[in-house]
């Protein structure tokens, strides 16, 4: 159910780069930033920056620029990073474990509350405060814990079945690492994560330096 | 050493989305695509699409559009995906293992040829045809194997030391998963990978559907 105000993928990517830039400014205790500075850092025109920020609801002041912490606040609200959303991991292999132990959850406004696997040698494992449960419990746990997002890190062959289970239990968002296009109800959002993304960018940038 | 022809991060992100779209077209055996179709799929204006493609060196034909396989070829060359570049992993924990076993390397034009860890319980492990070596061997192996890229998946506290070692041995590109800003010689490219990236996009899109 795409709404007209939904941002394009390209805009979301650009605004995430902007948020990273602003957080960097905040760490350096800078309070203001101009559209030209933003444009130069991100490689887009100052005019496009002003359009983006105007749509976001912020007008800069001539020769002073934009208030860094105000922009951060607008972007965090746009991305819904302040409300802690309850999440689970399905598939506790290497990738599931690596992500369970990472700091990404807080950063993106999620709280990891459960993990599932079908492998009996993994079920019962504990990582931080999460204990891995048998996948047969998934429906009940998602309901009882009001989990709204499932990260899927199972093999491609099992991913659709997992998607069916979690959406039947009420999950509204899936972060999918399996290389397969999932079929889900229209009110469920799927974000397919490609890890090759950063690697392709690196390849491109290395070539530029070498040329 | 930024050159004037280096693309901005935002452009690289946009053109990667375009490549994914075109590969999807190719799988569906579509031979032509118009700038309006591309613009609609990526959420950018047809004018911007035509500018991007013109800079890339491709002119579409009125009412026919662009040749899909030609555009794919241009983008693959832009991203340097055709030349197999030799890579190694430093840090063979959960994330290192997950990525070693994934299909990303081929996709981004890399060939994984070595892995290193300092943990004696990990050294000697084999995954596909890669055997994990002791990190003390890193200098000699990078030289002997002509490795040009190192993926760093060690804890933040060890990442700078690893970066020093691999660049001293001749590595020209680093794919960095450690949450730390690495200091490297000016002719070395560092791509910092944030896994929170897709998660933030998911958070945003879920909020839009829920509103």
Q: Looking at beta carbons, which pairs linking A191-196 to residues 24 or more positions away fall under 8 Å? A: A191/B198, A191/B199, A191/B201, A191/B202, A191/B205, A193/B198, A194/B20, A194/B104, A195/B99, A195/B102, A195/B104, A196/B104, A196/B107, A196/B108
**Segment holding A37, helix H or strand E:** helix A35-42
Q: Which residues numbered 21-60 in B keep a CB inside 8 Å of some CB on A?
A: 42-44
B200–A43 C-beta distance less than 8 A: no
Which residue in chain B has the smallest CA separation from A148? B206
Q: Residue B4 pLDDT > 50, yes or no?
A: no
pLDDT of residue B210: 67
Pairing relationship of beta strands A130-134 and A110-117 according to DSSP bridges = parallel
The class that CATH gives domain A85-196 is alpha beta
Number of Cβ atoms within 10 Å of the Cβ of B196: 21
Decide: A116 and A138 in contact? Cβ < 8 Å.
yes
CATH topology of domain A9-77: Arc Repressor Mutant, subunit A (1.10.10)
pLDDT of residue B11: 82
Higher pLDDT, B172 or A205: B172
Number of Cβ atoms within 10 Å of the Cβ of A109: 21
The alpha-carbon gap from A210 to the nearest alpha carbon of chain B, in Å, equals 9
* Structural domain spans, chain A: 9-77, 85-196
Interface ipTM: 0.86
| For residues B147-167, average pLDDT | 96
Per-residue confidence band for B211, with pLDDT thresholds at 50, 70 and 90: low
- Give pLDDT tens digits for B178-205: 888 899 999 999 998 877 878 888 998 8
Per-residue confidence band for A129, with pLDDT thresholds at 50, 70 and 90: confident
CB contacts, 8 Å: B9 with chain A = 17, 42-43, 201
CB contacts, 8 Å: B196 with chain A = 104, 107-108
Cα separation values, B161 from B94, B156, B182, Å: 20, 10, 9
Decide: A206 and B173 in contact? Cβ < 8 Å.
yes
- Give pLDDT tens digits for B56-108: 888 777 778 899 999 999 999 999 999 889 999 999 999 999 999 888 898 89
Q: What percent of chain A lies above the pLDDT cut of 70? A: 96
- Give pLDDT tens digits for A68-116: 999 999 999 999 999 889 999 999 999 999 999 888 898 899 999 999 9
Q: Residue A3 pLDDT > 70, yes or no?
A: no
Task: Write the residue in B16, B97, B172 that is nearest to A206 by C-beta.
Answer: B172
Q: By mean pLDDT, which of A82-86, A188-192, B23-27, B127-131 is the weakest?
A: B127-131
- Give pLDDT tens digits for B120-134: 999 999 988 899 999
A82 close contact with B: CB closer than 8 A: no
Q: How far apart are CA B29 and CA A64, in angstroms?
A: 52
CATH topology of domain B9-78: Arc Repressor Mutant, subunit A (1.10.10)
| For residues B156-177, average pLDDT | 96
pLDDT of residue A64: 81
CB contacts, 8 Å: B10 with chain A = 10, 13-14, 17, 42-44
Number of Cβ atoms within 10 Å of the Cβ of B49: 24
pTM (predicted TM-score): 0.81
């Amino acid at each position: 159910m795409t709404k007209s105000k939904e941002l394009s993928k390209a805009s979301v990517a650009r605004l995430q780069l902007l948020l990273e830039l602003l957080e960097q400014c905040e760490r350096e205790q800078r309070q203001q930033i101009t559209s030209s500075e933003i444009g130069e850092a991100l490689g887009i025109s100052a005019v496009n920056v002003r359009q983006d920020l105007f749509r976001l609801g912020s007008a800069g002041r001539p020769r002073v620029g934009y208030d860094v912490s105000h922009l951060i606040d607008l972007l965090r609200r746009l991305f819904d990073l302040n409300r802690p959303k309850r999440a689970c991991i399905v598939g506790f292999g290497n990738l599931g474990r690596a992500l369970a132990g990472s700091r990404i959850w807080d950063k993106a406004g999620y709280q990891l509350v459960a993990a599932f696997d079908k492998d009996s040698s993994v079920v019962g494992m504990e990582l931080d405060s999460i204990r891995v449960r048998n996948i047969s419990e998934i429906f009940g746990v998602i309901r009882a814990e009001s989990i709204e997002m499932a990260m899927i890190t199972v093999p491609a062959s099992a991913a659709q079945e997992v998607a069916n289970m979690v959406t039947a239990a009420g999950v509204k968002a899936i972060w999918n690492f399996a290389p397969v296009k999932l079929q889900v109800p229209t009110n469920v959002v799927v974000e397919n994560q490609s890890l090759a993304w950063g690697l392709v960018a690196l390849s491109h940038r290395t070539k530029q330096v070498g040329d």
